[in-house]
Amino acid sequence: MREKSEKTHYEFLDIPSTAGMEEIEDAYRRTRELYSGDSMALYSLYSPEERQERLRRLDDVYETLADPLKRKAYDEHIGGMVASPPPGEWGAAVSEEKDAFEEYNEAGMFKDKLGLKQQLEIMECKEPMVAERYRILFTRLEQLAVKNSYKTIAVTSAIKGEGKTVTSLNLSWLMATEFGKKVLVVENDLRSPSISSSYLNMGRLSGLVDVINGDADIRNAINRLEDTSLYFLPARASAKNSSVLIDSQAMRNVLDTVKAHFDYVIVDAPPILPLVDMNILSRMVDGLLLVVRAGSTPKDMVRKAVNALPVRNLVGVVLNGADEIHMKKYYY
């Protein structure tokens, strides 16, 4: 079986190897729009040089797959190497091995299923380009994760209300349901735990705050979203002494423990300004993703927030609600 060092032509276009010409042409147009300069991308993830390189490869891929003879030769070359990717690789199914966080099912201790109070934007798929942009974001994070052995990514923002929680949830859902990753969302905005209050139909009574305080075992606080490989460790309750809880050995133990059981841990983190919580948390995670709401957050505040973070851990910036004008304004 081949090494997954580079995606096949079919994976690059996100189509099955049995795709017909119409599907290939549609994927080609869609991908070209995504990487072209006219695309109203939400994520400023690629440099102009990187976009040009991807467009060059896109043209090569299309030229091969659009020509029946070239496609046949290409399919014979890759043979059966696109089938049955190994567990943990791109698009692989979730491992069927016994899950350390689902032992309660066997004991019958807990029967309720974790559900969502409201549909996520990416689940409704009213705008296909939204999902495409989250795919770009995941692809970029995957590249960094493989290169730097990153597993814990904290999603934060300069101030409250920029969309960090929505970004965390949509990204995590796509990673788990589309790419087969086993993902845990840790709600770490302890002063304002909006995931617990606005998004989850809570099952278990325990949460992150209980685990940190020593009142619950972590296995009694993690829930799986039914029929997915997406898990949640909600805060369950707000905490006025959030900085004390975050800056604790118990919090470090939580992150160390879950890293051993999940492909990715997405931490819905507190905003950077004006609290100290994020400054503490930034030293515990592998990478930081900064969410900025276009046309809302002052540029000097964004710069101040970036300067407050350890630059070596900042893996990228998500420009939320952007159009081309906003992207040019914030790019620096």
Q: What's the domain range around 203?
A: 103-330
Mark whether 60 and 118 lie in a shared domain.
Answer: no
pLDDT above 60 for 79: yes
Calculate mean pLDDT across residues 266-286. Answer: 89
Characterize the bridge pairing of strands 287-293 and 200-201.
unpaired
Mark whether 23 and 127 lie in a shared domain.
Answer: no
Return the higher-pLDDT residue of 36 and 289. Answer: 289
Has residue 209 been placed in a domain?
Answer: yes
pTM for the whole structure: 0.67
Return the higher-pLDDT residue of 144 and 168. Answer: 168
* Distance between start and end Cα atoms, the chain: 43
| pLDDT tens digits along 197-230 | 888 886 666 899 999 999 988 988 898 888 889 9
Most confident of 35-44, 91-100, 286-295: 286-295
pLDDT above 50 for 97: no
Lowest mean pLDDT among 108-112, 137-141, 235-239: 108-112
Identity at 193, one-letter amino acid code: P
Has residue 40 been placed in a domain?
Answer: yes
Tokens representing 228? 């997915």
Give Cα 118 distance to the centre of its chain: 19
Mark whether 32 and 124 lie in a shared domain.
Answer: no
Report the share of the chain in percent with pLDDT over 90: 26
In this predicted structure, what is the pLDDT of residue 176? 93
What CATH number should be reported for the domain holding residue 269? 3.40.50.300
Mark whether 55 and 112 lie in a shared domain.
Answer: no
Contact 196, 207 (CB under 8 A): yes
Mark whether 285 and 227 lie in a shared domain.
Answer: yes
Mark whether 255 and 317 lie in a shared domain.
Answer: yes
Mark whether 123 and 246 lie in a shared domain.
Answer: yes
Mark whether 119 and 217 lie in a shared domain.
Answer: yes
Calculate mean pLDDT across residues 100-121. Answer: 60
Distances in Å between the Cα of 180 and the Cα atoms of 85, 88, 244, 259, 302 are 11, 8, 35, 17, 33
Has residue 95 been placed in a domain?
Answer: no
Most confident of 164-178, 265-279, 315-329: 164-178
Calculate mean pLDDT across residues 262-285. Answer: 89
In this predicted structure, what is the pLDDT of residue 140? 87
Has residue 90 been placed in a domain?
Answer: no
In this predicted structure, what is the pLDDT of residue 47? 64
Nearest to 241 by CA among 284, 206, 190, 278: 190
| pLDDT tens digits along 115-148 | 888 888 888 766 677 788 888 899 888 888 888 8
CB within 8 Å of 55: residues ≥ 6 apart: 32, 35, 36
CA atoms within 13 Å, Cβ hemisphere of 27: 21
Has residue 251 been placed in a domain?
Answer: yes
Contact 234, 168 (CB under 8 A): no
| pLDDT tens digits along 16-68 | 888 899 889 988 887 787 666 554 444 445 567 777 788 888 888 999 999 88
pLDDT above 50 for 166: yes
Has residue 237 been placed in a domain?
Answer: yes
Return the higher-pLDDT residue of 109 and 172. Answer: 172
Task: Tell me the pLDDT band of 250, cut-offs 50, 70 and 90.
Answer: very high
In this predicted structure, what is the pLDDT of residue 252? 94
Mark whether 60 and 140 lie in a shared domain.
Answer: no
Average pLDDT, the chain: 78
Q: Report the 10 Å Cβ neighbour count for 143.
A: 11
Total domain count, the chain: 2
